[in-house]
Amino acid sequence: MEIKVEFIKGPTKNTNIEVGSIINHIGERVGLHGSVYKIRRMSDFAFVLLRTKREVVQCIYSKDYAEFDLEVLKEESCIKLTADIIKEDRSKSGWELRMIDVEVLSEPIAESPIVINNKLVDTSLENLLDYRPITLRNEKERAIFKLQAGICHGFCKYFLEQSFTEIHSPKIVSAGAEGGANIFHLNYFGKDAFLAQSPQFYKQMMVGVYERVYEIAPVFRAEKHDTSRHLNEYISVDFEIGYIESFEDIMMMEVGMLRYALEELQANYTHELELLKITLPNLEKIPSIKFMEAKDLISEKYNRSIKDYEDFEPEEEKLLSEIIKKETGSDFVFVTHYPTAKRPFYAMEDPSNPHVTLSFDLLFRGLEISTGGQRIHSYKEQIQKMKRLNMNIELFETYLMIHKYGMPPHGGLGLGLERFTSKLLNQDNVRLSTLFPRDINRVTP
């Protein structure tokens, strides 16, 4: 029997051109493809906006040269287009794109109940999210998540340059890292298991292996909050580093990481930044203030009495950001030395004051976007603290292996990708920077 195999090679060069390269094809007839985003009929011609991978490009339809009837085009039809690129000095781009012929690849069977091709999707948050598969096609909506991809790419570039190793830790776990009741339960082949609230234990384990590790992955919090800043599933940008001299090393690493992301956007995402009219914040350095001093400062400046000595109220985070912005010009502020009572059992205490930890939050425009700190690396110290907290040590047996068999001084942080994105884009709800948000009322689409 003869074997009938074909051979598949890597992708051939696209015969259709990309919008970015149109400038190189002036005077030529080219192929393009995309969705018909909007048709604007004028008296004797029409503008047809074509939505391509990244840009929406304006095409001109005129019976003078088109070899097809405009009526064959519907908004949201997918087409292959043959076009002439004509030099046009009056146009900002230097060219105009004339539609010569189209092949309609597919058509919608109905019109979208939400208008998606205006500048903004003018509807309620509820509708925007209910119709996510369609509303994301709006030029500005999709720019948000293109920028988010750019942020992640900037982070990854930074981590690679800083000799980090990327890890993939499990999301089904036998014990929660953050403690408390805010954990999703799972029936795992008849046994009780949980969804990981963070990769905390795993990234610490991996510091013993690679010294510097990172992971960008979903985490799950069964919090019953229904606010503009909480999600029940979000993307956590986590890193953990060993051989630190102090917990400030972690904050320094975070400044570097954020700066890389902003530089990546500035370098390669100007299209989306301009579309959303975003000016990126300056990030040379970030001011840092101790928790208790911040509390006193807010109390004094705004004449508020301090109700909770262990944590911020959301309002206080906003006020602190305002003060810092005014005094230093910074949109970011580190708050350090959070009370031991409010930090997890693995948080290292300040040797000079065990009531506070060597930990920090990063606030960005009034919202906490990341939490980090130095961890206990001594077995004895960790066991003592767990006993003091009446914890069941046996449950953490595998985690405690790292302390038992040797760990360097280390620490790290987690950053909420959606929170960072939404504050960067001056949004008032984190859901706007979440592709398909999960909250207490929403598990679709």
By CB under 8 A, what part of segment 68-97 binds a copy of itself? Answer: 74, 76-78, 80
Cβ distance to a copy of itself smaller for residue 90 or 168: 168
107 near a copy of itself, judged by CB under 8 A: yes
Which C-beta is closer to a copy of itself: that of 26 or that of 114?
Answer: 114
Closer of 70 and 216 to a copy of itself (Cβ): 216
Q: Which of 399, 413, 415, 425 binds a copy of itself (CB under 8 A)?
A: 399
- Of 38, 132, 271, 325, which lies in the binding site for a copy of itself, with binding defined by CB under 8 A? 132
User: Which residue, 44 or 245, is less far from a copy of itself as judged by CB?
Assistant: 245
Residue 195 makes CB contacts below 8 A (sequence gap 6+) with: 171, 172, 173, 183, 184, 186, 220
Chain centroid, CA 3 distance in Å: 49
**End-to-end distance of the chain based on CA atoms, in angstroms?**
50
Residue 44 CB, nearest approach to a copy of itself (Å): 28
Q: Is 387 exposed, middle or buried (0-12, 13-18, 19+ CB in 10 A)?
A: exposed
What single-letter DSSP state applies at residue 135? H
Among 25, 290, 304, 342, which residue interacts with a copy of itself (rule: CB under 8 A)? 290
How far apart are CB 87 and a copy of itself at their closest, in Å? 26
The interface region with a copy of itself, picked from 89-97, 99-107, 302-310, 341-349 by CB under 8 A, is 99-107
- Which of these ranges, 22-30, 273-281, 340-348, 378-386, lies near a copy of itself under the rule CB under 8 A? 378-386
Nearest approach in angstroms of CB 103 to a copy of itself is 11
Kind plus residue range of the DSSP H or E element containing 274: helix 270-275
The single residue among 62, 91, 174, 429 that binds a copy of itself, judged by CB under 8 A, is 174
State how beta strands 233-242 and 332-336 pair: unpaired
Q: How far apart (Å, rounded) are the C-alpha atoms in residues 277 and 279?
A: 7
Among 17, 57, 261, 407, binds a copy of itself (CB under 8 A): 407
Restricted to residues 225-284, the positions that interact with a copy of itself (CB under 8 A) are 232-233, 235, 242-243, 248-249, 251-253, 255-256, 259, 284
**CA distance linking residue 294 with residue 375, whole number of Å:** 23
Distance in Å, CB of 308 to a copy of itself, minimum: 20
Contact status: 365 vs a copy of itself (CB under 8 A): no
Query: Do you find a cis peptide bond into 445, omega within 30 degrees of 0?
Result: yes
Binding residue for a copy of itself, selected from 57, 83, 195, 278, defined by CB under 8 A: 195
DSSP result, 148-183: HHHHHHHHHHHHHHTT-EE----SEESS-SS-SS--
Q: Least distance to a copy of itself from the beta carbon of 62, Å? A: 25
Instruction: Out of 115, 217, 262, 280, name the contact with a copy of itself by CB under 8 A.
Output: 217
**Distance between alpha carbon 112 and the CA centroid of its chain, in Å?**
28
Give 315's contacts (C-beta < 8 A, 6+ positions apart). none
Question: How wide is the angle at C-alpha 35 spanned by C-alphas 87 and 135, nearest 5°?
Answer: 125
If binding is defined by CB under 8 A, does position 339 make contact with a copy of itself?
no
Segment lying near a copy of itself (by CB under 8 A), choices 181-189, 274-282, 364-372, 423-431: 181-189
Q: Which two tokens stand for residue 88?
A: 């046009």
How many Cα neighbours within 13 Å face the side chain of 276?
26
Query: What does the alpha-carbon distance between residue 359 and residue 372 come to, in Å, rounded to a whole number?
Result: 6
Q: Are 245 and 197 in contact (CB under 8 A)?
A: no
d(CA 229, CA 231): 7
Does residue 131 belong to the site contacting a copy of itself (CB under 8 A)? yes
Per CB under 8 A, does 327 bind a copy of itself? yes
Q: How far is the CB of 88 from a copy of itself (least distance, A)?
A: 26
CA 303, distance to chain mean position in Å, is: 36
Residue listed under structure tokens 């019953």: 224
Q: Which two tokens stand for residue 69?
A: 């009837």
Stretch that binds a copy of itself, among 40-48, 57-65, 100-108, 305-313 (CB under 8 A): 100-108
209 is a site residue for a copy of itself (CB under 8 A): yes
C-beta closer to a copy of itself: residue 96 or 442:
442
404 binds a copy of itself (CB under 8 A): yes
| 35 lines the binding site for a copy of itself (CB under 8 A) | yes
